[in-house]
Amino acid sequence: MSTTSFLNPVIEAARALLANVDHDNARAFLPVIDSAAGQPPIGEPSPFPLGDYPELHALGNDTTRPMLEAIAGAASSITWWQSDAARVPPGWVERSGATQLIGPDGTLVGPNQCRLGLFYLSPDLLYPDHWHDPDEFYLILAGSVKMSVEDRVEILGPGDFSVTPSGAVHSLETTDTPMLAMWGWSGDDTSFDSYSY
C-alpha cells in the first residue's frame, strides 16, 4: 500500500466534483490536485476535534456521497485542526473542524497560490462576518448553510458551489444539521495574514 493511499480516494473524489463545476475558480484546482496526487502526505494524523467523526452520509446527495464516503474512510488518517481562536471571530471555533488537504502547509504539498481543504460546522452555529485577500470557494458536501457574501444571501445544500471574491465580507450559518464543505483559497498570496473580522 502506498503512503498516499489513504488520501487518494478523497482527492480523486474532490477532482471529480470540481471537474463538473463550470467556474474558473473550480478549474484552477484541477492541475493542483493532479500534481499533488502522487506525493507522500506530510504530518501525522490528528483526531477530528469534536470527537468521533460524524456520520454525514444521509446529509449528502448522489453527487457528493462518493466524496463523503472517501472522507469517512480516511477520517482517522487526516490531520484535522481547529482555527487559531485568537485570530478568528469568537464563539465558533470550538464547534468546528477543518483540514487542509493540499496547500503550502497541507497534508499534500501544493503551490502557494492554492489551498484546498475540508470545513465542518456544527448545527445552529454562526461563523460571523470575516474577509481575506484570497478568492474562496465552498462546495457543500453534506448538510446546508446560509451563506452571506456582501448583499447576497443564499441557502446552499449538497453539491452547491459558491465563490467569495477577494475582500468580500462573508458569513456562514448552519441550521439544525451540521455542514461539511470542501473549501478552496486561491490568489497570489494565500497566507492567512489578510484574514480579518
* DSSP β-bridge partners for residue 98: 81, 119
Q: What is the spatial distance between Cα 155 and Cα 144, in angstroms, rounded to a whole number?
A: 7
- x-marked contacts with Fe ion along 80-119 as a string, rule CB under 5 A: ----------------------------------------
Nearest residue to Fe ion, by Cβ distance, number only: 136
Q: What is the spatial distance between Cα 126 and Cα 133, in angstroms, rounded to a whole number?
A: 21
Residue with cell 493542483: 32
Q: What DSSP letter does each residue of 73-89 carry, written as one string?
A: HHGGGSB-B---TTTS-
Q: With CB under 5 A, what is the number of residues at the site for Fe ion?
A: 1
Residue 30 CB, nearest approach to Fe ion (Å): 21
How many helices (H) and strands (E) would you count in the chain? 4, 10
Residue 39 CB, nearest approach to Fe ion (Å): 26
Q: What is the spatial distance between Cα 42 and Cα 122, in angstroms, rounded to a whole number?
A: 27
**CB closer to Fe ion out of 133 and 136:** 136
DSSP helix/strand/coil, 17: helix
Residue 6 CB, nearest approach to Fe ion (Å): 27
- x-marked contacts with Fe ion along 123-142 as a string, rule CB under 5 A: -------------x------
**CB closer to Fe ion out of 65 and 95:** 95
**CB closer to Fe ion out of 7 and 135:** 135
Q: Is 173 in the site for Fe ion (CB under 5 A)?
A: no
Q: What is the spatial distance between Cα 3 and Cα 22, in angstroms, rounded to a whole number?
A: 32
Helix axes 65-74, 8-19, angle to 10 degrees: 160
Residue 130 CB, nearest approach to Fe ion (Å): 6
Residue 134 CB, nearest approach to Fe ion (Å): 8
Q: Please give the residue ranges that form the binding site for Fe ion (CB under 5 A).
A: 136
